[in-house]
Amino acid sequence: MAILAKSLYRICDQQTVFEMTQERIKAYEKIRRALTEAPLLLIPDWNIPFKLYIDACGYGLEAALHQVQIIDDKPTEGPVCYISRQIKPTEARYGASQMECLCLVWALEKLHYYLHGSVFCSDN
């Protein structure tokens, strides 16, 4: 999501003239589709372990919190929550390991309401 929103973040800067270019319109449409199409978010079940997926790149940090829940009589993994943010200029100098660690710490801080006292595993 952070990569898709990169061109939209730029128009939030006070020094930037607001202009909806084709690139920004396409980014907006992709984000809107991603947020309104399947897979839709699951309601968290506090009795089931969570799975935390994180990813960091040169543009931003992203995390997805998933659970395996019984849907239509079969176990199905689905998203409970998505979060993302653009990286800061100083963070752009981090190496790959530092970026992944930053992403994990950031995700744990942002998702502590879900994860505090819950069982969860991470992809890293």
pLDDT digits (tens, 9 = 90+) for 50-106: 999 999 988 899 999 999 999 889 999 999 999 999 999 999 999 999 999 999 999
**CATH code of the domain occupying 40-124:** 3.10.20.370
State how far Cα 36 lies from the chain centre.
15
For residue 47, what pLDDT band results from cuts at 50, 70 and 90?
A: very high
- Give residue limits of the domains in the chain: 1-37, 40-124
Q: In the predicted model, is pLDDT for residue 1 greater than 70? A: no
CB atoms within 10 A of CB 118: 16
Q: In the predicted model, is pLDDT for residue 9 greater than 90? A: no
Does this model's pTM top 0.95? My answer is no
Computed on alpha carbons and rounded to an integer, the radius of gyration of the chain in Å comes to 17
CB-based contact 88:64 (threshold 8 Å): no
